[in-house]
Chain A
């Protein structure tokens, strides 16, 4: 499969997003499959708001479009509507029970199948989801699509059909530039995401959301889910617990408790 081609100045942008169970609620595991249970009400992964914002800014600057691409149980689409309410134009959600328990590479293959049809100039992702946090889907996607990858961007700009970023490194950052089409993964904090307006929230209710199945995308049943992932969860167990220690309410002298402990561990 050849690389996607960049065809004009109005940037066609796809943003990979995910809706996840609200991180502020306790997650439950299905005891049979060990998969996280997915409620009907899910929220947009907070780390995806940054990619959506960058996409909207680039689309606004070039007169382009923003399509959300996701592989997730659709539920009532609450999380996806949050991103549509920010201003994305439409969404393509691969919502198929056969995908339950898919590993990162299967996820990347499914997203790549959608993206090959969409033919975007720019694919934007976060660096990892908050719930699964495998953190390799962006790179797998880039490889499957034959694209360069501008990863871990903490700053993004564009000019003359090129995207330039500050890419985080172990001891600072590199300035990296790539021609389109390209995959861009952004860190949270790269930009201040907008809040949906009332008008945006109302408009989101009627924006188009396509929901193809894996069969629609040309996958056989054995290619997705646990069978297609070549990995198997063989057990889930409680981690050795770190017991909570003492709790002291400060009434003006609690700093002395810290001093005593620091002395005890010979730090002071």
Chain B
């Protein structure tokens, strides 16, 4: 079994998602390589090695959007080395490269994997549908390599023994018009407090909050608890929170120990992004809101009455 894991570099290091996939792939046995897209550094390669990669194919992007060229390079490498399974994450660049690679190699992509099962040389991918209420098992039926896209937080990232992998530089080929998109500027959006993906507590806003000027009690509660603030698609679309704060199918997947949903109805597309949280607390006026079906504690009430009192009570106990 030869598995390759795509790893994008963000702020000088491989993404946590890539490390989660490597940790899972390490359990398959056999050969494990990372395909690293970024400037690269000894520290970054060592991190990949510690998570199981014995080999790193290293691609360095230039001024162009590298997705088309990276897919072309990867198709060439796959032809040469014949990997069995290629793993990508549910992330922007990963999806671009995986989709293009799939078309280039004429192989299907199985997306939104939450589990990957090896059975007698075959690979089965499990994904969730209908808001995570049903699990679908899908098997590949054509030639290798098989391509899967894995949802974040499906596997734990676990560093093993330190290891310096063999690093193989891979040139990004010329791909003509498809490679003509140019990256003009990079912008990092820094938010205060812990990142949404890593926070132990998440306070989440839904449409029921009612407006950007009514977000204050959520921010106050989050600051008090050291929590990150997230929201539903409706909330980021309305501009009450930045896009990077979106939790759900199109946004981020979170698994904090406590998730406090305020004014969140609990649409299927939101539930898939948070239903595996440790303890879920929901406050919503509508007692029929679907969020109550996954909440450990559901408060039927006005969040603008409940949250300020909650903030005062927590302050009083400190």
Tell me the A residues contacting B by CB distance below 8 Å: 3, 23, 27, 29, 34, 47, 103-105, 108, 127-128, 130, 133-144, 146-152, 154, 164, 166-179, 182, 187-189, 229-239, 241-242, 244-250, 252, 254-259, 261-262, 265, 267-268
- Contact of A149 with B267 at beta-carbon distance under 8 Å, contacts A189-B243, A238-B134, A250-B299 already known: no
User: In the assembly, what is the distance between CA of A31 and CA of B167, in Å?
Assistant: 49
User: In the assembly, what is the distance between CA of A149 and CA of B65, in Å?
Assistant: 9
User: In the assembly, what is the distance between CA of A166 and CA of B91, in Å?
Assistant: 16
Contact in complex: A248, B299 (CB < 8 Å): yes
Contacts of B149 in A (CB 8 A): 135-136
Given contacts A135-B111, A168-B92, A242-B294, 18 further A-B contacts (CB under 8 A): A104-B102, A105-B102, A130-B269, A136-B95, A140-B99, A172-B186, A172-B187, A177-B182, A231-B108, A242-B275, A245-B295, A250-B299, A250-B300, A255-B299, A255-B313, A258-B306, A259-B314, A268-B225
User: In the assembly, what is the distance between CA of A175 and CA of B140, in Å?
Assistant: 37
- 22 A-B contacts (beta carbon < 8 Å): A23-B269, A47-B250, A130-B249, A136-B95, A136-B109, A136-B111, A139-B97, A140-B99, A142-B178, A148-B65, A149-B65, A172-B189, A174-B185, A189-B236, A230-B143, A232-B141, A235-B137, A236-B137, A245-B298, A255-B310, A259-B314, A267-B225
- Contact of A258 with B297 at beta-carbon distance under 8 Å, contacts A3-B178, A149-B181, A231-B141 already known: yes
Main SS at interface, chain A? mixed
* B172 on interface, CB distance cutoff 8 Å: no
Which of A147, A149, A246, A247 has a CB less than 8 Å from the CB of B287?
Answer: A247
By size class, the interface of chain B is 35 or more
In the assembled complex, how far is the CB of residue A26 from the closest CB belonging to chain B, in whole angstroms?
8
Contact in complex: B104, A143 (CB < 8 Å): yes
Contact in complex: B177, A23 (CB < 8 Å): no
Which of A104, A174, A254 has a CB less than 8 Å from the CB of B111?
Answer: A104
The tally of CB-CB contacts under 8 A between chains A and B is: 287
From 175 to 196 in chain B, residues with beta carbon under 8 angstroms from any chain A beta carbon are 176-189
- Contact of A233 with B137 at beta-carbon distance under 8 Å, contacts A128-B250, A170-B15 already known: yes
* B41 on interface, CB distance cutoff 8 Å: no
User: In the assembly, what is the distance between CA of A176 and CA of B184, in Å?
Assistant: 6
- Contact of A152 with B92 at beta-carbon distance under 8 Å, contacts A143-B103, A178-B181 already known: yes
Contacts of B8 in A (CB 8 A): 170
- Proximity bits, B152-182, A CB within 8 Å = 1, else 0: 0000000000000000000000001111111
Contacts of B214 in A (CB 8 A): none
* B132 on interface, CB distance cutoff 8 Å: yes
- Contact of A133 with B279 at beta-carbon distance under 8 Å, contacts A139-B99, A154-B243 already known: no
Closest A residue, CB atoms, query B15: A170
Closest B residue, CB atoms, query A171: B188
* B207 on interface, CB distance cutoff 8 Å: no
Contact in complex: A147, B177 (CB < 8 Å): yes
